[in-house]
Each structure stands twice: as structure tokens, then as C-alpha cells.
Structure 1
Amino acid sequence: MRHGGDGVGSTEAAPGRDESPEERADRQWSELLQELRVVQTGVQILFGFLLTVAFQQRFPALSGGDRTLYTVTVVLGAAATGALVGPASLHRMLAGHRLKPETVVWASRLTVLGLVLLVCTMAAALLLVLRVAGAGTAATWIVTGMVVWFALAWFLLPLLARHRARERRVRR
């Protein structure tokens, strides 16, 4: 998988680094673990909160549509949790088999998938909360704005930075 530069999951050496593929994989694995520590805490708290909603007194009063939205939100939260915890399982199952570079690539892919699922979970949860709070049609616009914000901050900004760095390297 070629991401260019030194992004986790990249198979090419970073400019200015003198490391073997195994050393690079070890470094990238450590970096990925640090990133996952940040994300996993948030997703697990969000998922735990979502699981408690069905046991609240007001839950039976939700409309059928809101109950469906809740169900979709919980499933998305479970999927996000699975994808973001997946790299630990992947590492454990492949440890000792001399597959660290491949493990880093697949763990990186699971992490990005987990982030996409987390955005979806947060959007669905926000929509449910805003609907229950009575935000009406404004709820859809607020959620759309938040999804755009997450897309910009989590995906487009890093892609833009990577693109600009690649352009600078080409001009040299």
C-alpha cells in the first residue's frame, strides 16, 4: 500500500530516515498504538453511553423512527468499536509470524474504517439527541454541518497536507 511519505501503512521509506522495513514497521506500529489510545477511549465511552439509552425512562416514549435511528446508532457504534479495537486483535493473532509490515498496513486500514464508522455513529447519535430535544428540521442541518466539520478535520486536512508535501518533494 503506497500512501507516499511516511504515513502509517506506507511501504516506502520516509525521506531522511535510515531504517529497515522492520524498524519502520515497529515505529509505525508504535505511532498507530498512540493514535488508537486516543480514539478508543472516546469510542468506548460513546458506545457505553449508547447502550444505556434503552434503559432510560423516556425510551418507550420514542417514536418508531427514533427507535430505528437508535438501533442504527448502536450498530454503528459497535462496528466502530470493533474496527478500532481490531488492530490489537490483529497484532495478537499475527505476533511472532514476521508479518509486522503487513500488520501495520491492515491495522491502519482498520483504523481509518473505524474513524469513518465513528463519524457515522456520532452523526446518528447527534441526530437522535437533537430530534428528541425538539430541534425539528434544524437537526438535519446541524448534523450535516458537523459531518462536514469531521470530514474536514479528520480526512480532508490530512489529505491536503499529504498532497502539498508531495508537491513540495516533486518541485525539489
Structure 2
Amino acid sequence: MTSKPRGAGSRGPKTGRHETPEERADRRWGELLQELRVAQTGVQILFGFLLAVVFQPRFAELSDTDRAIYVVTVMLGSATAAALIGPVSYHRLVSGRRLKPQTVTWASRLTVLGLVLLLCTMCCALLLILRVALHNSLALWLVGGMALWFLGCWFVVPVRALARSSRERGK
């Protein structure tokens, strides 16, 4: 009598792997944690710098507009940190309740939200820095260009790869 390989017959959807839903969830969770480690570290450093700005002597010299940009940037940074740290809390609260696939789904959604918020945070931080450094409207154009760059790198390239993959599978 031969035994089937572990997970045989339960090929994960669209993965090309022989894994059970639980094995797939475990693998996806591990991958997501690695991604979150990178994003969380960057967000925490950026947020720490943002919090320190208000204590710098030149902060008092900022215009009302620049102060408003700063407040929006700090709030976005806080929301970004919450979204990117959220999956850890979610996992901890539901751990051991056999909800790993749902946990991975919700953690992935929070991560994408966190990336969108990070894009906004970085653009606002750049706008503030460039307004202070350049004292002209060129700052807005530079930030717009950088926002397009971020969108391209973070979202357009992966979406195009997904679309291309879907077309190739459909042939």
C-alpha cells in the first residue's frame, strides 16, 4: 500500500503547490510577517523622526500651512503604524482558534491599507521638507513625481504582473 504525499489531492488554489488550506495559510502568514518586518521598521523610524520635529527650534518658524502639513503627516504616520502593526494584534487575539486562513486574509488587507497610508505619509513628509527647503511651488511638482514613482513601484508593477499571469494562464 502506498501512501499519498502530504497534502496530495488538495492542491492549493492557483498556487501550483500540494498543500492543505492550513499549510497554505501558514506559508502565507510567514511570508506576510517577513513583509511586515520591513515595512514596520521603516514606518517606526519615519514616525519617530516626525515626532521629534516638533521639538526642534526651527519648528516655531513654520508657516501655518507647513504646520498643518506637519499635523496631517503625523496623523497619517500614526494611522500607518496602526495598520501595519494591526496584523500582529489580530493574530495574537485570535491565535489558537483555528482562524489562520481568515487571519491571513485580514492581515493582508491591513497591510495593503498600511502601504497606501505609508505612501500618503511619505508624500506629506516630502512635501513639508521640500517646502521648507525650496520655499517655492517646485516642491509640489517634485512630490507629485515621487508619488507617481511610489505608485508605480508599489502597485502598478505588481498589478501588471498579476494581469500578465492571468492572461498566460487563460491561454
- TM-score relative to the length of structure 1: 0.91
Which residue number in structure 2 is paired with residue 16 of structure 1? 16
Residue 151 of structure 1 aligns to a residue whose secondary structure is helix
Aligned length: 160
Which residue number in structure 1 is paired with residue 35 of structure 2? 35
Matching residue's letter, 1:132: V
Which residue number in structure 2 is paired with residue 96 of structure 1? 96
What is the distance in 1 between the residues matched to 2:107 and 2:135? 39
Which residue number in structure 1 is paired with residue 4 of structure 2? none
Residue 121 of structure 1 aligns to a residue whose secondary structure is helix
Which residue number in structure 1 is paired with residue 162 of structure 2? 162
Residue segments in structure 2 that go unaligned for 5+ positions in a row: 1-11
What is the distance in 1 between the residues matched to 2:15 and 2:21? 14
Which residue number in structure 2 is paired with residue 106 of structure 1? 106
Identity of aligned residues (%): 61
> Structure 2 vs 1, CA of residues 90 and 134 (structure 1 numbering), >3 Å: closer, same or farther?
same
Quote how far apart the aligned CAs of 1:135 are.
Answer: 4.4
CA contact 1:13–1:24 (8 Å) conserved in 2: no
What is the distance in 2 between the residues matched to 1:89 and 1:126? 30
What is the distance in 1 between the residues matched to 2:82 and 2:132? 28
Deviations 1:100-139 (A, max 9, x none): 0000000000000000000000000000000011241110
Quote how far apart the aligned CAs of 1:13 are.
Answer: 1.9
Which residue number in structure 2 is paired with residue 25 of structure 1? 25
Residue 18 of structure 1 aligns to a residue whose secondary structure is coil
Is 1:61 matched up with 2:73? no
> Structure 2 vs 1, CA of residues 30 and 169 (structure 1 numbering), >3 Å: closer, same or farther?
same
Which residue number in structure 1 is paired with residue 150 of structure 2? 150
Matching residue's letter, 2:141: W
Runs of 4+ off more than 2 Å: none
The structure whose Rg is larger is 2
Quote how far apart the aligned CAs of 1:14 are.
Answer: 3.0
- TM-score relative to the length of structure 2: 0.92
Which residue number in structure 2 is paired with residue 5 of structure 1? none
Quote how far apart the aligned CAs of 1:16 are.
Answer: 2.2
What is the distance in 2 between the residues matched to 1:169 and 1:28? 22
What is the distance in 2 between the residues matched to 1:150 and 1:16? 31
Bigger drift between 12-21 and 52-61 goes to 12-21
Which residue number in structure 2 is paired with residue 84 of structure 1? 84
Which residue number in structure 2 is paired with residue 52 of structure 1? 52
Matching residue's letter, 1:102: Q
